Amino acid sequence: MRPIRFSVLAFFAVIVGLLVCLSGLGDCMARELPSIEVQKLDSEIKAKKAPFILDVREPFEVADGKIEGAVSIPLGELPARLDELPKDQDIVVYCRSGRRSGRAVSFLLDNGFTRVQNLSGGMSAWLATHSCDPKNLTC
Give catalytic residues, as residue numbers.
Answer: 95
d(CA 72, CA 59): 8
Tell me the CB-side half-sphere exposure of residue 82, using CA atoms within 13 A: 12
d(CA 94, CA 118): 6
* 7, 23, 102, 121, 135 from 36: Cα distances, Å: 45, 28, 12, 9, 28
Backbone angles phi, psi at 71, to 5 degrees: -100, 130
Element (H, E) at 82: none
**End-to-end alpha-carbon separation of the chain, Å?**
64
